[in-house]
């Protein structure tokens, strides 16, 4: 389980990315990289970290499902993911 402070930091970064998305795109299109550098560092979408929606785990993230590999295995074992059957892992 991820710390609450780490989850809160990711939420804050997501808000900054959304806030500066249009401005960032306009500056990139104009080629104005000096003003682009003056924007907050956390407003860059590259600094976002994908996390499991259920546990908050940052590693082993599966984009298709939005969860970590550990959570995926647990859910597949209990039959909560349709179309996935347990085989020899």
Q: Tell me, what CATH number does 59's domain have? A: 4.10.830.10
42 with 54, same domain: the answer is no
Please enumerate, as own/partner, the contacts of 54-62 that have beta carbons within 8 Å and a separation of 24 or more.
Answer: 55/1, 55/2, 56/1, 56/2, 56/6, 56/7, 57/1, 57/2, 58/2, 58/6
Domain that holds residue 67: 50-89
54 with 27, same domain: the answer is no
Q: Is the pLDDT of residue 69 over 90?
A: yes
Mean pLDDT of 42-54: 91
pLDDT for 8-42, tens place per residue? 888 999 999 999 999 999 999 999 999 999 999 99
Pair 5, 46: CB distance under 8 Å:
no
5 with 44, same domain: the answer is yes
2 with 35, same domain: the answer is yes
């Amino acid at each position: 389980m991820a710390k609450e402070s780490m989850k809160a930091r990711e939420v804050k970064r997501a808000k900054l990315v959304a806030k500066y998305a249009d401005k960032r795109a306009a500056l990139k299109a104009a080629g104005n990289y000096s003003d682009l550098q003056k924007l907050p560092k956390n407003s860059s979408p590259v600094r976002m970290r994908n996390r499991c929606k259920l546990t908050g785990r940052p590693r082993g993230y599966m984009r298709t499902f939005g969860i970590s590999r550990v959570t995926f295995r647990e859910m597949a074992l209990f039959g909560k993911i349709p179309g996935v059957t347990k085989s020899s892992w």
